[in-house]
Amino acid sequence: MFSTRCIQRWYPNVSHLSKLISSGSSQLGDLGSGAGKGGGGGGTIREAGGSFGKMEAAREEEYFYKKQLEQLERLKNDQIHQAEYHHQQIKEHEEAIERHKTFLDNLPK
């Protein structure tokens, strides 16, 4: 499993992702209960509060959660493909070394 520390080390430009993961919703208050602390309401449905506001907030949270999972999956696949590429490169270099050794052994002395 990926840890946020490993992701930050490999990809320093996605440090904001780890902040989102670790911060949670402590500064948001009760989602969907009306206008937020930051001055912006987030739209008329969320400003109104009630069950529609809570439902819209839940959908929004679900959307970003799924987006985050997609990003992490792409990151994981990218790492897997890079590892496979490097293993292939190692194999090709080892074969080239063997070819050169064979050539050197066959040279007249």
Composition of the chain by helix, strand, coil, percent to 5: 75, 0, 25
Q: What is the pLDDT of residues 48-105, one digit of tens each?
A: 667 887 888 899 999 999 999 999 999 999 999 999 999 999 999 999 999 999 999 9
- Residue 1 reports pLDDT greater than 50: no
Check residue 27 and give its pLDDT: 53
| Residue 92 to residue 86: CA distance in whole angstroms | 10
Half-sphere exposure of 102 (CA within 13 A, CB side): 6
Check residue 84 and give its pLDDT: 97
Asked if residue 75 is part of any domain, the answer here is yes
Check residue 40 and give its pLDDT: 57
Q: What is the pLDDT of residues 9-28, one digit of tens each?
A: 656 565 555 555 555 555 55
**Domain limits at 91?**
42-104
With contact defined as beta carbons under 8 Å apart, do 75 and 11 qualify? yes
Check residue 57 and give its pLDDT: 87
**Count of structural domains within the chain:** 1
Asked if residue 86 is part of any domain, the answer here is yes
| Residue 53 to residue 95: CA distance in whole angstroms | 63
